[in-house]
Structures are given as structure tokens and as C-alpha cells.
Chain A
Amino acid sequence: MSTGLLIAIIGALLSTIVAGLGSAIGVQMAGKAATGVVSERPELFGKLLILQALPGTQGIYGFLVSVLVFVELGFLSGSPESALETAKGWAFFGACMPITIIGLLSALYQARMAVYSIQMTAKQPDAAAKGMTMTVLVETYAILALLVSILLVTNII
């Protein structure tokens, strides 16, 4: 295995690990806020579940980029590029960084928005959709980061 391949793999792992970490913490934060509300108003469970799940997408995006890197590196077809140049390895690593970093941060910030929206929904159940929309706005930047990562990853080799 070449150093390049190793570096590329580390990059791919980071995007799943770090973005997933952000989502896990984010979903947990929103979940904590939601349990408090559900204990008082169980009928809001459905709406709050959606709000709770919102910060979970970044983890999926990170995972998506990892899989794309694996596809590009030929892991899934069984013939890995064992002689990947070091420079290309770094290119893969760099391509994973947007979703790794922005995924982590946007999940955490989106979780805060989700918490506020959950509190708003507790007081005003009809406003749930508005809360969802405002919370989803944060995700825009994770999506942009994901796009940059995808476009880079799929064009290196």
C-alpha cells in the first residue's frame, strides 16, 4: 500500500468520524430538549422527532463522501489503487475536509437552532413547520461543503 492511499483513507475516515460526531452530539442535544417537551405534551412527539432528526443529516453527508472516496479508490470493486501517488492522496484528504469541518460545526449549530425550534413548538405547536424551515437554513452550508467535497472527490482520478 502506498502512502498516498493511506492518506486518502485517513481523509475518508475523518469525514465519517467527525461529521458523524457532530451529528451524534447534535441529535442528542435536540433530543434532550424534545424529551422535556414530550413528557408534558406527548402529542407533539411526531413534530419534535422531525426537529430532532434535522442535525442528523451531516453525519450522513460525511458518510456519503467516505463511500465516494472508497468507490473512487476501487475498494468496493475489489481492486484498490494500491499505487496511489502521495500528492493524489493529499488531494483526496483535502477533498474530504469541507464536509468534515463544516459538517461538524453546522451539525452543532443546527442542533442549537433545533433546540430553540423545539422550545418554540412546545409553546406554539402550529409553528413547527416554521421552526423546521429556520433550522434547515443552517444545513445549507453543510450541503455546499458536501457539494465541494463530492465534486473534488469524483474528479481527482
Chain B
Amino acid sequence: MIVPMKKVQIVVLKEDHEQLMLNLQKTGEVMLIEHPEISQKSDATTEEIMLQRTRKTLGLLKKYRDKPKFVKELNKVDYDDFVSNIDQRIELLEKIEETYEEIQHLKADNATLQETLKTYQPWEQLTVPFDKIVNTKYAYLHTGFIEPRYCQDFIRILDEHGSEYELLGKTYDGQAVFFANYYADDLAVIESLRAFNFTENALPKLPLTATQLLSEKEAQLQANNDRIKELEEALAQYAKHAGDLEILTDQVSSIEVRKTAPVIPTDATVYVEGWVRHDRVDKVIEAIKETTDIFDCEFSDPLPDELPPTVTQNNRFVAPFEIITNMFATPSPYEVDPNPMMTFWYWIIFGIMMGDAGYGLVMLLFFWAFIKIKKPKGNTLNLYKILMYSGITTMIWGIVFGSYFGFEWHPFGLKPLLTPLNNPLEMLVMSLVIGGLHIISGLLVKAYDNFRKKDFVAVFSDSLSWILLLVGIGFFFLPQLSNIGKYLALAGALIIVFFAGRKNRNPIKRIGSGLYSLYGATGYMSDILSYSRILALSMSSGVIALVMNLLAQMVQGDLSTFSFMTIIKLLMAMVVYFVGHVFNLAMGLLSAYVHASRLQYIEFFGKFYEGSGYAFTPLENKLTYIDELNVN
């Protein structure tokens, strides 16, 4: 059912604006209307930045947090806590950020230290402080690197000139060398060494030996690492309060929503306009009265040129299936809610496509348990509910097909009415008949819609005519009824020819346009043939289940003689059964979900559905992490 909407117009004093928004957000019943020219929104940059920070920090804390419990506990927060305690949570956020920044800083520092260590390691054997390495009057001192393969040449050259040298540590830069030349030979030595890729490497003038320097840096590195460890422990402690950051995220995003809600300000007042369900008007009045005594509030029906948002209200069974319709298009508020009819067919067709009693039972139990244990919400919850409910039809059709995990079984003498694998033709006919009924039900919805709008000619010419034609053609294939079928089809066709073009005054044009409409019958034929996919999908899941069983039986081998090997074979067969059926079930669910949706969208909705509405998105708290707000 599509719920009628009321337009609400509220005027309050400027000082009550924020409180009003807060209260409206608390009820979550009003969808504000934005007037592009005059509506104003407050600036929410602070909130956006804050959200980025909380998300980043939550990401950082992830590795320190305990794994989520197997059975999810609902995250319940008191409403008063939610709206008032923000500052202390921001404080926590800042503390965590500081800790993390310090760690980052220390890590960067460590990287530099590591570099320094690497630089000085080759000079460790130099026992003199660096600042003592200075040229004397007769001896010029050099430090540098030479490629290890030229070591022999290096020694030769220095020996030739009678220089003193020392070979120090090796690094990826090459062999570190220290040597002293007689001042007169210096240029010549350097010149000849250059041919062997000698690179001079001046050491910093520090009053320390390499060893001292290294131990100093190492101590620093150690201190840094100790500090990092300490800070990481602190982070692990903070991670226990990550729940507060999650609440903060929800708090701030709710503030953001509230701030960016469109309102129209005047000098002294604020004007708020929105849509509300007709049966929730009281709640809105209550929320306003809670805010202030000085207000003006009016409710009115939507004007003919206004398009209110669409709210559909259905029973517990149909409600989850609304997501299937909404994924295609939100219904227009002025048409018949397609959901109850769509749900019924989706449910049935999904069941035939899966068509296995074992799989149906697994779907029912698995998704039931999943919903109980993991407590998903929103669209995920609805999807799981759809799959759970479809488990029921899957079981029923599985019994009809006599298929239990791909095995043919007849418990309690239940004979399968139809096995797709053995009677593909009958199965095809059944698929097409279901298609025909599905399409006729679509036409009936359209008839009902036109009936509601008191357009009786349309009921007669656009819906009943096609139903007559379809039923007539269907009867044609039954020998006993083929005569009646002929007349029904003819009647339907005549109605279409004479009435489909009724908008044309000119009788010739009218008939022409009617004939053209009759040509649309080819579209109906292709629509009905499209239901043959029901056969294809139910067969493909059936055959794969069969093959998996065959494979498992091959592994299992002969069970008549018992030995140790039998147990191993049996275990291996179990693995094949399990993996095979899980795979087939998953693929089958995917196909059935997609193809059952497609049959609704194209074949069924094509007959009547407008879907020109938009969803009702009220001003409400945006809860990502919190499951429930306890309002006292």
C-alpha cells in the first residue's frame, strides 16, 4: 500500500531553529523540501573534517582491536548521551591522534638514524675522532670509496708513491679507504686513482670516533623503539574505547545532516517545509510542541502539480521485497503499490529456479541463523530475508521435482510431479504458463489502477482485451477448450483493434492505430518465451548438483566392504559433497536472484508499472555504527 502524504509547513523563531531541527531529527518523520532559490543550509565543513578524522583514526585502530564477537551484540546508546556527550569523545580522538602522530614522527626519525648508521658503519675501524683527520704540513689525508675489484690497483698505486693506507669496512658504496699522501705526490696519486673510480668522501668534523658516534645513534634508536612500543601499548589501550569513536562518527554525521537540512530563514523566524506520512502528523506536532510554544504549523494535502515522496507500507513478508522494486524504480505515489503482487511472483519463481528441497532447507536455516547471529540491518537485512523466505518455495518446488541435494528421493511415497531433467518439455510448458499468469497478473494490476481512476474504458480495452487474447491463445493448446479459446482470442483482438486507438477522432486512424497495438502481441510472445529461463536455470542447478553427487560417489567408491580406506574415502567424498553443493548453491542463488529480478523488471513491470516516484528520506539520525538509540 502506498501511504498518502501530507505537506507540513512550520514557522518558528530563529532562536528555536536548532532545537526544532534536533527534535524533528529525533522523530525522523519529516522529509524537508528544498527550494533551490531560497533554501539555505548551514556550513558543515567542521563536521566533514571531523568525520574524515574519526574514519582515519578508526582505520588506524583496527589492528589493535579485538576481533568482533561471533554473535553480534547490538550497539545501543542512550539518546541523551548521543546528543550531549560529544566533547569528551573528541578529546579521546585528539589523544589517539597525538599518540599516532608521535609514533609516525619517531618512525621517521628512526629511518634517518638507520641511514646514519649505514653511513658510518664502514668507518668504524677508524680509531681517531673525525675532527682529528686534518691535513698536516707534509701529509694530505683522504677518506673515500673505491670499487672492491680495483683494490689491488689501489694498493699498487699507493705503494708506488709510498703513501700510508688503511682498508676499512665494505658497503654498497664500495670499499672504504683511508690514506695519507706525501703533499708533493698528492695530486698525482689522486689523478691516477681517479682512473679506478675513486670517490672522495669527506667525513663530518665531529669530536667523536665512528664507534662513539655509532653507539650514540644506536642508543637513540633504542630509545625511540622503546618509546614506540610504549605508545603502541597506549594505542592498544585506546583501541578498547574505539566504540566511543564509532559513536562520535554517528554523532557528527547526524549533526552534519541536521546542519545541511534546507530551511528558509527570514529576519526573525525560520520557515521549514516538508512531507510527512498522514498517519504520523501527531508525532510531528508533538516534536514541535516539545521545542517551543511559539510556532505556526499547518498540514495540507499535496497540490495536483506536486509530487510527494513515496512511502510503501506492507506486511512483514512483503516489506523486504520492496528493495527489489526500489532497485528498479521507486513507485509513483499515485499508482498502485506493485510490491504485494511482485513479491508473490518473485517468491514463486525464485523457488522454481532453485528447485531443490535440500537447498531450500539450507537457505532457510542459514539465512535465519545469519540474521539472528550477525544482526545485519538495512538493505542487507532485507536481502537475507528475501533469500530466507525464498528457501520455503525452493523447498516446495524441490519436493515437486523430487530433488534433494541433487538426489532423486521419494520420501513417504511422495512421487515427484515433474522432473525437469526427464520431462524438459512439460517443464518448459509449465514455465511458459507461469509466465503467462505472471503477465496476466500484471495486466490485472493495471486494470485495478484504471478502475481506481474510474477509467473504465481503459480497464476494458487495455487490460481485459489482452487478458482475453492471452487466455484464448493458451486455451488453443488444450484440445477440449480450443474452440472457446478461438473466440476469446478473437474477442480480445477485436477489442484491441477497435479501442486501443480511441484517442484518435478519425475512424481510419483509430483502426490503424488499433491494428498497430495488436502488433504488440509479438512483444507479449517474446515476453512469455523469456520465461523459458525458468526451465534453464532450474535445470542447470539440478544438473550441477547431480554431477557433484556423481563426483562424490566416484571418490567414495564401493561401500559394501568396510576397511580403514573406506573411512578416508568417505571423508574425502564428504569434502566433495560439501564444496560442490556450496558452490552450486551460491551460483544458483546469484542466477536466481538476478533472473527472477529481471522477469519482474522487464516482463512484469513493463505491463503496468510507472515507477516515477522518489524515495522518502526523512531528516533522521544517521547511524552507521549504532544499532539502536534508546529514547526514554
Interface residues of chain A, those whose CB is within 8 Å of chain B, are: 50, 53-54, 56-57, 60-61, 63-64, 67-68, 71, 76, 128-130, 132-133, 136-137, 140, 143-144, 146-147, 150-151, 154
Q: How far is the CA of A53 from the CA of B425 in the complex (A)?
A: 29
Q: How far is the CA of A128 from the CA of B327 in the complex (A)?
A: 8
Shortest Cβ distance from A46 into chain B, in angstroms? 9
Q: How far is the CA of A118 from the CA of B544 in the complex (A)?
A: 28
Shortest Cβ distance from B606 into chain A, in angstroms? 11
- Given A60-B587, A129-B328, A133-B602, check contact A154 B424 (CB 8 Å): yes
B283 at the interface (CB under 8 A from A): no
- The A interface, classified by DSSP as helix, strand, loop or mixed, is helix
- Return the contact of B594 from the options A50, A130, A143, A146 (Cβ within 8 A): A50
Q: How far is the CA of A128 from the CA of B323 in the complex (A)?
A: 13
Q: How far is the CA of A137 from the CA of B590 in the complex (A)?
A: 16
Q: How far is the CA of A68 from the CA of B536 in the complex (A)?
A: 12
Q: How far is the CA of A103 from the CA of B535 in the complex (A)?
A: 17
Q: How far is the CA of A67 from the CA of B548 in the complex (A)?
A: 12
Q: How far is the CA of A64 from the CA of B543 in the complex (A)?
A: 6
Shortest Cβ distance from A20 into chain B, in angstroms? 13
Residues of chain B with a CB closer than 8 A to A76's CB: 550
B199 at the interface (CB under 8 A from A): no
- Given A60-B544, A64-B539, A67-B547, check contact A147 B428 (CB 8 Å): yes
Q: How far is the CA of A54 from the CA of B590 in the complex (A)?
A: 9
- Given A67-B543, A67-B547, check contact A147 B594 (CB 8 Å): no
Verify A57–B424 contact, CB threshold 8 A: no
Question: Given A67-B543, A136-B594, A146-B536, 9 more contacts at CB 8 Å?
Answer: A60-B544, A64-B543, A71-B421, A129-B327, A132-B598, A133-B328, A136-B595, A150-B424, A150-B536
Q: How far is the CA of A1 from the CA of B529 in the complex (A)?
A: 39
Residues of chain B with a CB closer than 8 A to A154's CB: 424-425
Residue of B nearest to A140 (CB): B530
- Return the contact of B602 from the options A56, A61, A137 (Cβ within 8 A): A137
Residue of A nearest to B550 (CB): A76
Residues of chain A with a CB closer than 8 A to B550's CB: 76
Shortest Cβ distance from B285 into chain A, in angstroms? 33
Residue of A nearest to B587 (CB): A60
Q: How far is the CA of A112 from the CA of B10 in the complex (A)?
A: 52
Q: How far is the CA of A132 from the CA of B595 in the complex (A)?
A: 10
Verify B424–A151 contact, CB threshold 8 A: yes
Q: How far is the CA of A58 from the CA of B593 in the complex (A)?
A: 17
B591 at the interface (CB under 8 A from A): yes
Residues of chain B with a CB closer than 8 A to A136's CB: 594-595, 598
Count of chain B residues with Cβ under 8 Å from any Cβ of A? 29
Verify A53–B544 contact, CB threshold 8 A: no
Bitwise interface map of B from 534 to 573 toward A, beta carbon under 8 Å scored 1, else 0: 0110011001101100100000000000000000000000
Q: Can you report 24 residue pairs joining A to B where beta carbons are below 8 Å apart?
A: A50-B590, A53-B590, A54-B594, A56-B587, A63-B543, A63-B544, A64-B543, A64-B544, A71-B421, A76-B550, A128-B327, A129-B327, A129-B328, A130-B328, A133-B598, A137-B598, A137-B602, A140-B530, A143-B533, A144-B532, A147-B536, A150-B539, A151-B428, A154-B425
Residues of chain A with a CB closer than 8 A to B547's CB: 67
Verify B328–A60 contact, CB threshold 8 A: no
B597 at the interface (CB under 8 A from A): yes
Residues of chain B with a CB closer than 8 A to A53's CB: 587, 590
Residues of chain A with a CB closer than 8 A to B425's CB: 151, 154
Q: How far is the CA of A50 from the CA of B536 in the complex (A)?
A: 19
B448 at the interface (CB under 8 A from A): no
Shortest Cβ distance from B204 into chain A, in angstroms? 45
Verify B602–A60 contact, CB threshold 8 A: no
Q: How far is the CA of A64 from the CA of B540 in the complex (A)?
A: 6
Residues of chain B with a CB closer than 8 A to A130's CB: 327-328
Residues of chain B with a CB closer than 8 A to A146's CB: 536
Verify B597–A129 contact, CB threshold 8 A: yes
Q: How far is the CA of A136 from the CA of B595 in the complex (A)?
A: 8
Residues of chain B with a CB closer than 8 A to A150's CB: 424, 535-536, 539
Shortest Cβ distance from B582 into chain A, in angstroms? 15
Verify A143–B543 contact, CB threshold 8 A: no
Verify B424–A133 contact, CB threshold 8 A: no
Residues of chain A with a CB closer than 8 A to B179's CB: none
Shortest Cβ distance from A122 into chain B, in angstroms? 17
- Return the contact of B543 from the options A50, A54, A68 (Cβ within 8 A): A68
Residues of chain A with a CB closer than 8 A to B529's CB: 144
Bitwise interface map of B from 310 to 329 toward A, beta carbon under 8 Å scored 1, else 0: 00000000000000000110
The 9 closest A-B pairs by CB, nearest first: A129-B327, A143-B533, A136-B598, A64-B540, A143-B536, A64-B543, A67-B543, A133-B601, A146-B536
Q: How far is the CA of A53 from the CA of B588 in the complex (A)?
A: 12
Q: How far is the CA of A71 from the CA of B420 in the complex (A)?
A: 14
Residues of chain B with a CB closer than 8 A to A56's CB: 587
Residues of chain A with a CB closer than 8 A to B535's CB: 147, 150
Q: How far is the CA of A144 from the CA of B595 in the complex (A)?
A: 14
Q: How far is the CA of A69 from the CA of B598 in the complex (A)?
A: 29
Residues of chain B with a CB closer than 8 A to A129's CB: 327-328, 597
Bitwise interface map of B from 482 to 504 toward A, beta carbon under 8 Å scored 1, else 0: 00000000000000000000000
Residues of chain B with a CB closer than 8 A to A151's CB: 424-425, 428
Q: How far is the CA of A113 from the CA of B582 in the complex (A)?
A: 28
Q: How far is the CA of A143 from the CA of B598 in the complex (A)?
A: 13
Verify A132–B594 contact, CB threshold 8 A: yes
Shortest Cβ distance from B432 into chain A, in angstroms? 11
Q: How far is the CA of A71 from the CA of B563 in the complex (A)?
A: 32
Shortest Cβ distance from A16 into chain B, in angstroms? 11
